[in-house]
Each structure stands twice: as structure tokens, then as C-alpha cells.
Amino acid sequence: MKTIKVTLSSGSYNIYVGKGILKRLGCLVKAAGLPGRGVIISTPPILKLFENKVKKAAQSLLTRFLAIPDTEKSKNANLALKIIEKVMPFDKSRGVFLAALGGGVAGDLTGFVAAIYKRGIPYIQIPTSLLAQIDSSIGGKTAVDTRFGKNLIGAFYQPRFVLADTDLLATLPKKELMAGLSEAVKYGLIKDPGLYRWIARNAHKLLQRQPRCLEHLVCRCADIKARVVSRDERDTKDIRIVLNFGHTIGHAVEAASDFTLSHGESVAIGMACACDMSAALGLLDKDVGDGVIALLETIGLPTRIQKKILGKALRALAHDKKFKAGKNRFVLLKRIGETRIVGNIPADVIREILTGRLS
């Protein structure tokens, strides 16, 4: 088991990465000083696969499992309040902790509930998707969606620890595996040219779930995110914003598709658009951007936008959280491993970039 530390002024925590480490859950909960009662929030497909394993790993802990619908639309304020009402009867005098077992939806919703119930109770992350293991379970961004866009109601609230067992990826549908690789490519593009080249060389092994490759990828990406979050916990220093490369357009496309596109697929489209925009503004060599797009397509990810959602995606961009004083801000690429934040890009330029990516 490898340990990666997220060092924060508000309280540091560990990310545990390894093969078969779910069995250590009970020991890690006790070592973290958490209450002996835990409510595990997950989706029916994930519970079918892992509920018994979690029960066994929890050892002497008293656990209760709550199932949420297996869809992005589960991230809503009404469901968050319903979960709290179900947690309350289980919350005895010694308290309770929450555990997110699943992907980004379970993680975001569980963290949000933990942040608002009693003004904050402890929670942990047990990510079961590649995307969650390398990205969404780390950093304490918790949120629910609204009809205006993704993650518009939320809080920064850090987990007590993250347990990333790479064995849990064995049953991950290929589409979700590819979605996780989308975020992995992002980490290479924004911070680590070596990682980007390694992914390009080993894409086929990753798609075949070669255990050592997966463990290396999760460790490397988790370490990058931990270091970025440690320097800018609450996204106020224009450091953490680099993690949003591809996400500005990606979130808009995801919402415009009514979440028929996954987060990873939407981010792949957003990164393709960001590469096009970087080249159009003279920041990035076009051949480099074309190479990034080719890698995404080799993995099996989409890089084009359906014409029917273009208008809705453009409208969704207006609600992006990264905009300041009504001016847009995009994380763009100068070269592999180096980004630049560019603001106030004219609307006609944005429309032209998206139009150029229509399928």
C-alpha cells in the first residue's frame, strides 16, 4: 500500500493506493479516530459488486448502506436532504461517519451531505472508478447540480482519508475506464510531460487493465492532484484552476447532453476544444494539439460535439463558476506540461471553436 499525503492548513489526510487494500478499511477507520458507526452511500450496481466485501472489511464497525440512483441526476439538493433524514436515526450519541462507495456522483453527494449535516461530520472516500480514484475523490470539492449547471451548490470539505483499491477497477465497464483515462491525460497535459508520454505508450495496457500500470497511473495522478490541492485548497490562488483544463467547455457539454455524455467523455471534448482554442490564439503549436486529440481518440474518447446540443452548451457556459466579474476564463495549453489562464475571450471565438468541433 502506497500513501500520498494531502497537506492542508485545515487538516491533512492520506490517500491510500494499492491492490487489494479494501480489507484494511476497518483498521484505517479506527486509526483515523472515526466513530464506530458508518453509513455507506452507494449505487445499486456498486453495492451488488462490493457490499459484502465492504461489510467484511469493516470488521467490528456498525455499518448501514444507503442506495442512491445510478445517475448524475442523483446530485441534487432534495436527495441530499432525504439522505440526512435517513442518517439521523442511525446517528447515536457517539456520532456517525459517512463513506462514499462509488464514482464521482456518490463522492460528490456524500461529501456534500457530510458538509451540511450538523455543520460537518466526518466522511471518507472509497472510489470504485478510475476517474474517482485519480480525481474526484481528492481535494474536498463537494457539490450538487442545479438546472443551470453542474456543481453550483457545494462546499469545500475534505475527507478524513481516501482508500483507492485498484482491484475495484477490475469490474469497471470499459466506457468508464476510458472516462478515467481522459482525466489522466489531463494531468499529463497540465503538469507532467513524462506522464503524458507514458500514457501514450501504455494506453493499450491501461485499457487491458494491466495491474501494475493501473496502480502506477493512480499513484502518479493522485500525487499531482494532492500537490496542487495542498497549495490552493479553496481555489483562490489561481493554482488549483489548472485542474479545470478541458472542464469549462466539458461541463457545458455534459449538461447540454442531459448527462448522456459521461464526465470523462465531456472533458475529452473540452480538452479537444481547449487545444483548438490554444492553437487559434497562438499559444500552442497546432501539431501538438492535434497529437493530443489523436491520443484521446486512440483511447476511444469522443472529441466532437453533437450539433443538436451546441446552442444549449453555449448557454450553459454563461453559468461557469470560473468566470469572474462576468468575464470568462479558460485554462489553455502553451506546451505539454504548461498552461496559461486566458480571460475575456470573445464569444464569437468560442462559438467558432465549438462549431469547428461539431460531429
Give CA–CA dist 111/142, Å, rounded: 5
Beta carbons of 176 and 46 less than 8 angstroms apart: no
Dihedral angle of Cα 209, 213, 216, 220, to the nearest 10 degrees: -80
285: burial class by Cβ within 10 Å (0-12, 13-18, 19+)? Answer: middle
Beta carbons of 89 and 80 less than 8 angstroms apart: no
The dihedrals phi and psi of 2, each to the nearest 5 degrees, come to -100, 145
Q: What is the pLDDT of residue 86?
A: 97
Give CA–CA dist 244/246, Å, rounded: 6
Burial letters 316-338, b for 16+ CB under 10 A, else e: bbebbbbbeeeebbbbbbeebee
Q: What is the pLDDT of residue 321?
A: 66
Nearest CA among 316, 326, 327, 328 for reference residue 149: 316
Beta carbons of 52 and 23 less than 8 angstroms apart: no
Q: What is the pLDDT of residue 144?
A: 96
Number of neighbouring beta carbons within 10 Å of residue 348: 8
Q: What is the grid cell recorded at 7?
A: 497537506
Q: What is the grid cell recorded at 28?
A: 484505517
Q: What is the pLDDT of residue 9?
A: 87
Label each residue of the chain as H, E or C: CEEEEECCCCCCEEEEEECCHHHHHHHHHHHCCCCCEEEEEECHHHHHHHHHHHHHHHCCCEEEEEECCCCHHHCCHHHHHHHHHHHHHHCCCCCCEEEEEECHHHHHHHHHHHHHHHHCCCEEEEECCHHHHHHHCCCCEEEEEECCEEEEEEEECCCCEEEEEHHHHHHCCHHHHHHHHHHHHHHHHHHCHHHHHHHHHHHHHHHCCCHHHHHHHHHHHHHHHHHHHHHCCCCCCCCHHHHHCCHHHHHHHHHHCCCCCCHHHHHHHHHHHHHHHHHHCCCCCHHHHHHHHHHHHHHCCCCCECHHHHHHHHHHHCCCCCCECCECEEEEEEECCEEEEEECCCHHHHHHHHHCCEC
Grid cell 494491466 is found at 210
Chunked mean pLDDT (size 10), the chain, 359 residues: 94 96 97 96 97 94 94 94 96 92 97 97 98 97 90 95 98 96 98 98 97 97 97 92 96 93 96 98 97 98 97 87 77 97 92 95
| pTM score, whole prediction | 0.94
> Hey, which residues does 98 pair with through a beta bridge?
39, 123
> Hey, which residues does 340 pair with through a beta bridge?
332
Grid cell 496542487 is found at 228
Q: What is the pLDDT of residue 49?
A: 97
Count CA atoms closer than 13 A to 85's CA, side-chain side.
6
In order of 132, 184, 287, 295, 324, the CA distances from 192 in angstroms are 20, 10, 19, 16, 28
Sequence letter at residue 35: P
Beta carbons of 74 and 100 less than 8 angstroms apart: no
In order of their start, the domains of the chain are 2-171 (3.40.50.1970), 185-355 (1.20.1090.10)
Number of neighbouring beta carbons within 10 Å of residue 71: 10
Q: What is the grid cell recorded at 82?
A: 432525504
